[in-house]
Amino acid sequence: MSARILIVDDLPTSVKVLAAKLTSEYYDVITAHDGPTALETVEREKPDLVLLDVMMPGMDGFEVCRRIKGSPGTAHIPVVMVTALNDMRDRVNGLQAGADDFLTKPLNDTMLFARVRSLVRMKRTFDQWYLHQQTSRDLGFDANPDLSQVDGSGAVVTVVDASEIQGGNIRDLLSRDDHKVTVLKTYEDASKTIADDLPDVVVISMDFEGDEPLRLASRLRSTEVTRQVPILLIGDAEDEINLIKGLELGVNDCVVRPVDEQEIVARVRTQVRRKRYQELLQANFQQHLSMALTDGLTGLHNRRYLESHIDGIVRRTGDGTKGVSLMLIDLDHFKRVNDTYGHSAGDEVLKIVANRILRNIRGFDTAARFGGEEFVVAMPDTPLDVAFTVADRIRVKVAEEPVTLPDGSPLSVTLSAGVAESDPKGDTTADLIERADKALYIAKHEGRDMVIKAPPPPGAEADGNGAA
């Protein structure tokens, strides 16, 4: 996973060692050696993650973290504080200053990389919502809500712990922060109860036999209704390997016992604030854009929104690390549907196809009705081959299940699609759409019911062509 990481440390040797480790894992590393420079760099570069030393002359790491998290433009950037001190008070102070995690030197490389990957994934999700918000601002709507103003108390928390004593202790600690806490003692109870009564945060103890905690975490992440619920794992030092596995599975945070009461409260509060902030971003986006930028028939975005949104994504391709793939979809022989069955039947077909498209893309991908029977899907940070696979999956899903018309009769529908990838050396929205349109034309010309990859622009490295 490529990402830009800012290392902040006043000791050149520490910076060099940490930078070498991250570079070996193919991260793009930038550095700063004092607090003021770090703040300037964060504001200018907008890194994906900040690794921040605590002990620095002048402005210490706590103050740097508070300022990063206190600015609406940088509050969503993950901050991991790093120190040679192993004082629990420092950990708590760092978390209370807004840090997303706290690591102690000497760093465990495996745990470090797992933490980094986990937080970068979280940051990428927020990036896509920020991009939606930027599109909203470009179209004259309100700005982002402020993360620093989001409260992290008074949430619904589910604790899963086989030990009645340990579970009760966690419940008592979190209840002091006005959380409503439920303790479940079995894997079976947790699997059903969490899905039925969705909490704001799930805290899972590793004190179960076998791999039940990880199986529960995996199930929560793979189930649609619980996919976005933050998960925190608690384990002993000997559980480190499984805690790392948990982070790779999508767990948001993990804690090693003994757990300080202020630390667990601070970590849960952080997860609650993140969840509530994402919900605010979603609500803000839906509230301001649904009427002006949504196709009234299908519920997808309309062309106006799509073109503005793609403009924002394409502008980010200049660093060569972030681009967009775009699929242009057209229903085959749609005019015959309207002519034979009437426009109400045609409208039903469009609505059902739009729904099938949405069910087969990611939450932060953007689907739009481009006009008539044409649809477009923009997929940020997605290579051409992956977009082609998704487009072909949509093609199969549409073709394999007939559409039920208003009179109850079935109608077989197929689609053709062209897929194109933005050029990191420079591209425009019009260029990208044009290449996808040319690929779509080939699909139509060669028999329909297929997906075609657009060739790369002149001068770009060939990526091959394919059809299904």
Q: Which residues are catalytic?
A: 373
CA distance 36 to 61: 11
Contact 77, 68 (CB under 8 A): yes
Contact 413, 429 (CB under 8 A): no
**Residue of 343, 197, 177, 137 lying closest to 263 (CA atoms):** 177
Strand 415-421 to 410-411 pairing: unpaired
The total of other beta-carbon atoms located within 10 Å of residue 467's CB is 14
CA distance 223 to 194: 11
SS3 317: helix
CA distance 153 to 290: 30
Q: Which distant-in-sequence residues (6+ apart) come within 8 Å of 44 by Cβ? A: none
CA distance 239 to 166: 16
SS3 92: helix
Run of H or E including 384: helix 384-400
Full 3-state SS string of 246-272: HHHHCCCEEEECCCCHHHHHHHHHHHH
- Determine the residue type at 147: L
SS3 415: strand
Q: Which distant-in-sequence residues (6+ apart) come within 8 Å of 341 by Cβ? A: 405, 411
Give me the long-range contacts of 301-305 (CB less than 8 A, separation at least 24). Answer: 301/366, 301/367, 301/368, 301/369, 302/368, 302/369, 303/368, 303/369, 303/370, 303/371, 304/139, 305/135, 305/139, 305/368
Sheet containing 201-205: which strands, arranged edge to edge? 180-184, 156-160, 201-205, 231-235, 253-256
Contact 129, 281 (CB under 8 A): yes
CA distance 341 to 376: 25
- Determine the residue type at 26: Y
